[in-house]
Structure 1
Amino acid sequence: MTTIAPAAPPAPTDEQVEQMILDTLAETREELVPWAWLRRRLPVTGFWRALAALDRLWLDGRVYVIRVRGCNYVGLGDEHDMRMAARAKAQGRVPAVRCV
């Protein structure tokens, strides 16, 4: 008799990973949270997949990322961040990175 292992749940789509990041940020009610802390709370396999989702959100202005003393912090973007990202895309450039 052969037993069949249950199928693994399907991997989340890129859009679902992005939404997980946004939802986790919103739940904290903090202006900034460390990316390392946030990443550990994502039910996503793979460091690079989560980082790619963060990059897409940043390029769209939906989040902003700053680096303080070598640590990355993430916050929810606002209308201003989205306008700046749209302007950068229209000009064919990447938004400026903020370092403190």
Structure 2
Amino acid sequence: MIDERGIDERSVERLLEDAEAPDTDYSGRLAAVTGEASDGGVTVVVDLYGKPVELRFEPGALTSRASELSALVLRLAAEATIAALDAGESVVDGLTGDFPSPAWRS
């Protein structure tokens, strides 16, 4: 506990225990995972599940035809999803053992 002076009043033993305790807040860390991909003035950011959470267009990107722009957004969303899955995997690395690489990696 930190007192009004900003001093941590935990014992040295407790501080050492806390420092050595594994970080097990995997759900919180996974909830914060995102993946991002950019190309041609378009940036797509997705969460761990591939759901878009941010989409940015530079002015020059908006001069493309709608079909080209939508294809680019879909491709970037797929790339961002792979990046998010890789980031999520690094969060839980070591928990899953030595399983083969998932199909989405190929």
TM-score by length of 1: 0.30
TM-score by length of 2: 0.29
Structure with max Cα Rg: 2
